[in-house]
Structure 1
């Protein structure tokens, strides 16, 4: 098997004052060559359970939700699957977006590192 998966290095959430903020990006692959019945699965997790920390003291947390090709990640404890890619002779892509669950209370920068997992799984038979 050979494949390349490209994940955006960062996402910026923007919005109007007094409203929720959002941002999006694209997960991309080159040509994907896998064994028969296999697929690439991309998952997303966050140690903070999808809560961005304010740049100040970090006491204020801003919850957010991630959404991929399988809908919104509703289990913030474990994260979940955001994309799948089968064998393909052409590059492929999958969109991913992030939206704050509430309107930010304080101005400033908010951050949260997320971890993308890449694995090969067997298709159900």
Structure 2
């Protein structure tokens, strides 16, 4: 017998969501981050979609978002010509990386110590 899956509906964004990323499995479950044209990336519990928090600080659409494997750091890429690193536990902005163009995506390296921004 096939398992039935129920899709999650996560309200909160006011414009289209353009990117989603999941953390690895942590002692607290796993987490989901969403990038949205409303400029407010959101962190959610991965299995329920319950809202945990919103990362505030970009001044334009957020095109990419990711979490490190442990879900302790988040990174976002935006139309405001910046990539940002966040403390995913407190929601505090840790670092802003300015660029000369829109940043479309970000990723952490396998060890999670380096951030790789991708420019448009």
Q: Same fold (TM over 0.5)?
A: no
Greater RCO, CA 8 A, separation 6+: 1
Of structures 1 and 2, the larger Rg is shown by 1
TM normalised by structure 1 equals 0.29
